[in-house]
Amino acid sequence: MGKIILETKKLTKSYSNGKKKLDVIKNLNLKIDTAEIITIVGESGSGKTTLLNLLGGLDHPDSGELIILGKNILELNNNDISEFRNKDLGFIFQFHHLLPEFTAYENVLMPTLINDDVHDKEIMADELFEYVNLYDRKGHYPSELSGGERLRVAVLRALINRPALILADEPTGNLDADNSKKLMKLFKKINSDFNQTFIITTHNPVVAKIGTRCLKMINGRLRKNNL
Ligand SMILES: Nc1ncnc2c1ncn2[C@@H]1O[C@H](COP(=O)(O)OP(=O)(O)O)[C@@H](O)[C@H]1O
Ligand SMILES: [Mg+2]
C-alpha cells in the first residue's frame, strides 16, 4: 500500500429542483493511494461528474469529509481552496477548454502565471511539448490543432504545476478510437514516469481498462468493477 493521497468520509450531495430532492452522492467512502489510476464508470446521470467536481473542490457537498494530501479541504476558505486547486490539482475535461485567443504554449503556461518561477516553468513547458511530440505545434492556436492535439495540450496544462492529483472527466468523450488510445498511452506514461495519480471518469471500456482500479458508480456509491 502506498501513501493515501485522497480520502472521503460519508460524502453526500443532493440537488433540489423545486420540491424534488435528488440524492446523487450518498455516504461515499473512498481512499486513493499515490500513483493509482482510478477509473470510474457508470451510467449517464449516475453522478460521476458531480463526484469529480466535489473531489476537485469545484462544488461543495452537503455533508461528509474530503481530505487531500492530509488537508481537510472543506475547511479551507475560498482563497486557500483556489490556491490548492491551482497548485495541487490538475483538471482535464471532455471539452478541452483551451482559450482560443492564446497559443498552445501560452495555454499551457496559464496556470503558472500566479507563480514566481516563470522561467523554470517555461523550460518545463518546452520539455512537456517535447514529451508529447508537439514541440513544433506550440505556436499554434487551438483552432489550428486537431482534436487529439488539443487534448494533449490540455493534459500539459494540467501537468505544468506538477499537481499531486489529476482529475479527468470523460477525457476521451470527443475523441475517435485512435486518439483515445493515444491519450491513454500518454496517461500511463505520465503515471509511470512521474508517479502521477489520476482519477478518470469514462464511458469508454478502453479507458476504464487502464485503471489500476476500476470503480462503478451505482446508487450514489462506488463499487469495485471487474473488467
Ligand atoms: N446543477 C444541477 N442541478 C440539479 N440536478 C443536477 C445538477 N447537476 C447534475 N444534476 C443531476 O444529477 C445527476 C448526476 O449528474 P452527473 O454527475 O452529471 O452524472 P454523470 O456525470 O454520471 O452523467 C443527474 O441526474 C443530473 O441530472
Ligand atoms: Mg458526466
Q: What are the pLDDT digits (tens) for 116-139?
A: 677 889 999 999 999 999 999 999
CA of 136 to the centre of ligand 2 (A): 33
**C-alpha cell recorded at residue 206:** 478502453
**C-alpha cell recorded at residue 214:** 476500476
Mutation pick for ligand 1 pocket among 16, 22, 39, 59 (CB with most ligand atoms within 8 Å): 22
Q: What is the predicted pLDDT for the residue at 1?
A: 56
pLDDT band of residue 212 (cuts 50, 70, 90) is very high
Mutation pick for ligand 1 pocket among 13, 46, 216, 218 (CB with most ligand atoms within 8 Å): 46
User: What is the domain partition of the chain in residue ranges?
Assistant: 4-224
Q: Which of 53-67, 109-123, 168-182 has the highest mean pLDDT?
A: 53-67
CA of 142 to the centre of ligand 2 (A): 23
pLDDT band of residue 37 (cuts 50, 70, 90) is very high
Three-class DSSP labels, the chain: CCCEEEEEEEEEEEEEECCEEEEEEEEEEEEEECCCEEEEECCCCCCHHHHHHHHCCCCCCCEEEEEECCEEHHHCCHHHHHHHHHHHEEEEECCCCCCCCCCHHHHHHHHHCCCCCHHHHHHHHHHHHHHCCCHHHCCCCHHHCCHHHHHHHHHHHHHCCCCCEEEEECCCCCCCHHHHHHHHHHHHHHHHHHCCEEEEECCCHHHHHCCCEEEEEECCEEEECCC
CA of 218 to the centre of ligand 2 (A): 14
Please tell me the number of the ligand nearest to residue 47's CA: 1
> Which CATH architecture fits 4-224?
3-Layer(aba) Sandwich (3.40)
Residue with CA at minimum distance from ligand 1 atom 26: 45
Please tell me the number of the ligand nearest to residue 42's CA: 1
Mean pLDDT of 195-222: 95
Q: Which residues line ligand 1 (CB under 6 A)?
A: 15, 17, 22, 24, 42, 44-50
* Interval 79-112: pLDDT, tens: 999 999 999 999 998 877 899 999 999 999 998 8
**C-alpha cell recorded at residue 87:** 497548485
pLDDT band of residue 170 (cuts 50, 70, 90) is very high
Residue with CA at minimum distance from ligand 1 atom 8: 50
CA of 44 to the centre of ligand 1 (A): 9
CA atoms of 69 and 30, how far apart (whole Å)? 14
Residue with CA at minimum distance from ligand 1 atom 3: 15
Phi, psi of 21 (to 5 degrees): -115, 130
